[in-house]
Structure 1
């Protein structure tokens, strides 16, 4: 019986003492002894070996988590690929951390092996004189001609195969010329950073397809915010959303999750990884800003996740902070935290406990987080496809759509709340400037670049041109959006009248 693709990749949850020195005969006095039992042909054999663990100051956690182990279709281990993956995973920089990229590499290599099996090709035989008859070239041509794989993905897949064989051909018994897999040449890639410029040596391979560097066009009325196309809700749409969230069909935590993004502009990973200890900051009056908001720091070292692991500050209105604190100490929230702890101790008895201060504010009814933070002890031992990634916000958006009017946008997504916050914050800044001029506090409004900096700081943008695109969109936004909606209604109505009116051809 042949194994399916999903059955051909298994994961070893934890391999400890990866860098230890092993001894099968004479061992140092400080070595530890370990006995392994193994059954073969109905008889149990015991093997004894000794090892000396690496000091914690050298490797804080000398372990590999969720190591992907690949199998042939008959269930036998794929020796060469597993050796390669182990070589990557056992590097000091990888020890004690998640293995997401190694898991991706394993999947890509398995795709190559399955292709070779389906085509009756020996995946190790690169002896063909013509390049097109070698396994890697056949795989590349099949990927391109199938039309089902995006250009960027083709380059990633062929790259994984190339670097696998580049390593394998240096191992005893597998020596070969890497040029038979693909032709590649080194080049220097230059780049700029916030602290200066630099360069890195890369390989330019022949088994690549061109990838357009031009970004996809941005739809009318939207702004591209670090890879995401967002549209702020108009004033009327925002008012409808607020009314919907007040309905009794929405739980307190659902409303708070939406409000946090709507009134602060933070993304879902930041909303859903706020911890109990962050609520204690609301008790410190010294932290409250002049505008009645609490300043909270998010990013590495804070327990709150951010996009690109960027460290930044955001501001929570005092009234919203009070509601968060009330919810966090409610019977419902306490019961969910208790359920979380019960699940945690049962499923992960070997991990250090999570303290009450580090508990997530938002927990599901089943007792799990909605988004697993990177400093969560479970993060490195949980496969990337099993970690909660904020699907709760998708469910929330579908629920909002259910109670919304026909005028509410059908393509509404959670991240639009970020753009909606930005629009309202910008409008408020403009009104404040006008009020100061009218009251005689200042002769003229602040310069545009100063307002731009304020919006940039609140949205935690790294690139000011992104903030600039926001402000360009905000000019007369409501009027332009209403005009666009009216135009679309006219076009669709015209189509309906011409093609679907009574008596029209079917």
Structure 2
């Protein structure tokens, strides 16, 4: 039986859990010995940091699920601890179910409704209906179970020829558009245990660009900038970079000091900063692009870099007070966002160490997002109580809207709107122009909706018996 805890998640009576080995490495026995204390081992593989192991409720390792994780590790070209942690956390839910129901995941039946995987699917759907888990979480868990069985079959770890499979493969066909707008049919391999997830209702007042974004109007941007005047300098500059360059948080927080010096501004007052693969500054999917930063902002960044506050933070950090360091660090000297390059450096350092207790600590902008939610928004609402919440990523959309409107206002004679859109596409690094086109009529669309809403509400309100109307009549 599952129980509902205060956090709303479904739990089982089983105590099965995932434990993490900080530095995992397979060893090979060199020679036969009488007892383990006399054994001699040699390293038989690379070291893998934060590797997950599934433990049964009785405290012993789960042989079959850990064998699956090891087999999957052998097939992995580039190990990612987060990916393996996600797989383990999905499979341990299945392990708990098996223990609660006293089922053997390797015992297959001719009637598929009797198989553990089918019964687990039924339990997941019950949990969805009870509000214990989301449909997307349930889909992820059943897909993890199916992938588990598929690998067992591929590695001949189960006799599926004799007993069959606990599920059947099916193919679904969808229509997709390429970057040029051409449509084609794509076959997707699925299975008959798949759990349907209702499509999320599209927010017609949002721009889909790495998530649903809501640009701030110029008046709202001014309110944010005013509130930022009370913030510490590093947060001011981080927000300025987002709003005036359109850079993502990952890019802003991985800019290195050395990248800003010895660069001349162009005739328009920008420095051109290469970012992405090979630059040490991260972008989404490491896509190479050029970030244009206004000269005034570059000068402010250089002044901050030379400040005593910034120097003190660098002295506490991994890179020390050097040009290799990030422009922005926390008070503790830790990065706001750990770059891909530093992740690799830290990983190799821990692997080379003889210590097995070192933990790989990575940062992904949590401090900035927390600052926005816990400090900046409350500060804004002291004077603007009705100010709507926004995400840091919305600043990127705000930049895109500002840039597009500016380009449209100064469009050379004889050029159509597509010229402005293509410029914005290049500045924001959109792979597909359809993403940039969402910005084109965003504000006019909102204004049109507001006008229509006001007109029809005005025409209907005279028939509505609201307390406000009644009070007017009585007076």
Q: TM-score, normalised by structure 2?
A: 0.79
State the match for 2:8 in structure 1: none
- Give, in whole Å, the separation in 1 of the partners of 2:60 and 2:16: 12
Matching of residue 206 in structure 1 with residue 206 in structure 2? no
Cα distance, 1:116–1:192 mapped onto 2, change above 3 Å = same
Matching of residue 78 in structure 1 with residue 55 in structure 2? no
Cα distance, 1:190–1:498 mapped onto 2, change above 3 Å = closer
**What secondary structure sits across from 2:309 in the alignment?**
helix
State the match for 2:38 in structure 1: 46
- Give, in whole Å, the separation in 2 of the partners of 1:179 and 1:151: 28
State the match for 1:278 in structure 2: 259
State the match for 2:225 in structure 1: 242
State the match for 2:346 in structure 1: 378
Equivalent positions of 1:331-370 (< 5 A) are 331-341=308-318, 356-370=322-336
Cα distance, 1:445–1:135 mapped onto 2, change above 3 Å = same
What displacement does 1:255 show? 0.4
Equivalent positions of 1:85-484 (< 5 A) are 85-91=69-75, 93-94=77-78, 97-126=79-108, 128-147=109-128, 148=131, 149-169=133-153, 174-177=158-161, 179-185=164-170, 203-212=189-198, 216-220=201-205, 222-226=206-210, 228-246=211-229, 249-280=230-261, 283-285=262-264, 288-341=265-318, 356-376=322-342, 377-378=345-346, 387-398=362-373, 399-404=375-380, 405-406=383-384, 409-433=387-411, 444=413, 446-475=415-444
Cα distance, 1:66–1:118 mapped onto 2, change above 3 Å = same
Q: Which ranges of structure 2 fall in alignment gaps of 5 or more residues?
A: 1-11, 351-357
What displacement does 1:394 show? 2.2
- Give, in whole Å, the separation in 1 of the partners of 2:185 and 2:47: 32
Q: Which ranges of structure 1 fall in alignment gaps of 5 or more residues?
A: 26-34, 39-44, 55-61, 342-352, 437-443
What displacement does 1:190 show? 9.3
On the 8 A contact 2:328/2:335 being kept in 1, the answer is yes
On the 8 A contact 1:187/1:202 being kept in 2, the answer is yes
- Give, in whole Å, the separation in 2 of the partners of 1:81 and 1:317: 54
Cα distance, 1:326–1:4 mapped onto 2, change above 3 Å = farther
On the 8 A contact 1:89/1:99 being kept in 2, the answer is no
- Give, in whole Å, the separation in 1 of the partners of 2:359 and 2:196: 32
- Give, in whole Å, the separation in 2 of the partners of 1:323 and 1:317: 10
**What secondary structure sits across from 2:266 in the alignment?**
coil
| Aligned residue pair count | 439
Deviations 1:65-100 (A, max 9, x none): 222111111111111111111111133613xx4332
Q: TM-score, normalised by structure 1?
A: 0.75
RMSD: 4.1
- Give, in whole Å, the separation in 2 of the partners of 1:333 and 1:485: 51
- Give, in whole Å, the separation in 2 of the partners of 1:476 and 1:187: 36
Deviations 1:394-436 (A, max 9, x none): 2332322222232663222212211221222123223333xx6
What displacement does 1:359 show? 1.8
